Structure formats: structure tokens, C-alpha cells
Amino acid sequence: MQANELISRFEQLAPLKLKWKNDPTGLQIGDPNQTIHKVLVTLDVRPEVVDEAIAMGAEMIFAHHPVMFRPANNLDYQDPQKAMYAKIAAHHILVYAAHTNLDSADGGMNDWLAQALGLQNVSGLVPGYHAEAVKMTVMTPTACVEQVQDYLTKACGATVNHYAFNSGEQFSVNLLKDDLVAAVAGVNAIVPAGQWHYEVSPLLTGGHQYTMGRVGDLAQPMTVQAFAEHCKQVFGISGLRLVSQHPEQQVSRVAVLGGDGGKFYHDALAAGAQVYVTGDVYYHTGHDMLAAGLNVVDPGHHVESICKAQLTTLFNQWRIENDWPLEIKASQLNTDPFTFI
């Protein structure tokens, strides 16, 4: 199979439109049309991970963090980062990065983190891409109605509104504007050409709001200190940073945002969070968080390595469903640059 088949299926879960501005998400290195047999899933693309991929015989590395955050102004191989690019290219390895689109996707990175923490009644934290809703009014032969509606509801997530009987049969559905092209293509495949037509009008309500981060409730209240210890256990880390004036405070509402999320602490406060779990909190931001009365657990950026097992499981599920001739493995390497001593 070609790498594009895996990429296309993944982008149904986390389309590139979800990525945040200027984020280098998507294809990083290589040709998406190349044939792949083995895929290595990783959080980071580091020299040791590239060696792991080569040893495995992988033709594709699927990463969360982009390997190329900043453009290269030359390819001087004395620079270890640029030498790594050359090694990737020399071994014809394709690198794809799913970064802020995976962070924002439903069922993506931040849902995995919220589940790991045991949060309940989970909702979104930081608004990102908003998918608009439209009403699609369809006129189709009566004989085709059931099949057309079945397609629109199952493949496009549409909801049927009503029926009206004329020369054919007319009904309307509500669906996301982003799914309109697929809806039209699908109905074209069902109804003979020229025997159906449709009209589209915008809806002022509805649609779908994608978000980065999640907020939810603990099953049972616990102290800030106990929750911090809970985070260490859940994420399998030996240390973390705690920002709190009252570690003995009982808390129950928690916000989480994987990666560098300190700048979004106002969103955590607005959501009623008593504790905010995120990485890479800066010194002065920590002071601001204390002044605002927010408890913060900084377990580091590397907790996003939860994606390795989650993506590998997901890809293997798709492999079975689609009979893909693929071997998919999660990287066994720890790419956290920090060690607690």
C-alpha cells in the first residue's frame, strides 16, 4: 500500500484544518506515494529514533512532534539535526507529523490525557477550528430515498429533518459544511445522473467546535498534593513541578492540555478548573498562576508519549479493517531530554 492511504485515513480523524496557525503539521520528509510495509510510531524524531526505524526496516515514521519545526537554511551535515535529515532521505523514509491537529481532534491527544487522569464529564478547553453547519434540502426519486438517507446519516453524520411529497420525495438534513462535498459525491453514486437535485442554506446554530485541551471532574476530590502524586503514577514519571500555594487544598475540577500550554491558563480558570495539568510552564507564568490562585501540575512535555501506544492501537485496528499489508510498531525509546535526579 502507499503511505497516502494511511495518511488519508488518519486525516479523517484529525484533518489538517484543525492545526493551529504556522504549525508545521503534515508531511515532513519524503514522498507520500511511496510504498510502505512497516511504520514506526513515535513522539519525537531524534537520531536514535531514526536508527530504530532503519533497524526495523520502516519506510515511514509517524510522529506527533514535527521533525522540522523551523526551515533549514542549508544542509550542512556538520549540524546533527541536518545530518539526521540526510540520513532519513538516504534511507527513503517518509516522515509525517500529526501535531496540533491531533491535539485538537475529538478522540485525540487531549482526550487520551484526560482519560489517563480519570476525568469525567469532559468538555473542551481552548476553542480552535469551528466547523459550520448547513441545511441540505434534497429532492430525489422515492425509490432512492432510503438509501440516500442511510448514506447521509452514516457516512456524513447528517440528521434528517422532514419529508415532503411532490413529484419525487423531498427532505432536508443538517450536516457540517465540511462534509458537503462527500455528501454530494455519495448521492451522485446512488441516484442516476439528472434525477436528483439539492439546495444548501447556512444554519445560524449547530456546527462543531474543536478544542485543544480538556476540562473535567475527578471521580473523588483529593488534595493538590495527592493529585500531583496521581499524575506521577499515571504518566510513569519520577518527578514533576508543582505550582501551588495550598497543596493541602481539596480539588475536583481539572484542566489538562498536553505540551506547552502555560499560555492557556486563563482558559483553565474560565472553565472553573482548580488544577491545570500542562508542560513547560515558564518562571514568570508560574508567578502569574499563583497570583490567580490556580494550582498547576507540570509533568513535562514528554507525557504526550501516550500517543505512541494509542496511535499504534488505532493504526492496527485500521489495518485489520482494511486488510492493510502493514507492520506497525511503537518506538521503544524514551526521548525525554530531562532526567530528575
Residues that constitute the known binding site for a divalent metal cation: 64-65, 103, 301, 304
Binding site members: 64-65, 103, 301, 304
CA distance 31 to 4: 9
Task: Give the cell for residue 211.
Answer: 478544542
Cβ atoms 14, 101 nearer than 8 A = yes
Q: What is the 3-state secondary structure (H, E, C) of 45-84?
A: CCHHHHHHHHHHCCCEEEECCCCCCCCCCCCCCCCHHHHH
Q: Where are the alpha helices (DSSP H) in 91-169?
A: 100-104, 109-117, 142-155
How many other C-beta atoms lie within 10 A of the C-beta of residue 150? 11
Length of the chain: 341
Task: Give the cell for residue 186.
Answer: 455519495
CA distance 262 to 282: 7
Is residue 249 helix, strand or coil?
coil
Cβ atoms 296, 276 nearer than 8 A = yes
Distance of CA 195 to the CA centre of its chain: 40
How many other C-beta atoms lie within 10 A of the C-beta of residue 184? 16
How many other C-beta atoms lie within 10 A of the C-beta of residue 317? 10
Q: What's the DSSP call for residue 336?
A: -
Listed as own residue / partner, the contacts of 332-337 with beta carbons closer than 8 Å and 24 or more positions apart are 332/52, 333/42, 333/46, 333/48, 333/49, 333/52, 334/302, 334/305, 335/42, 335/43, 335/44, 335/46, 335/48, 335/49, 335/302, 335/305, 336/300, 336/301, 336/302, 336/305
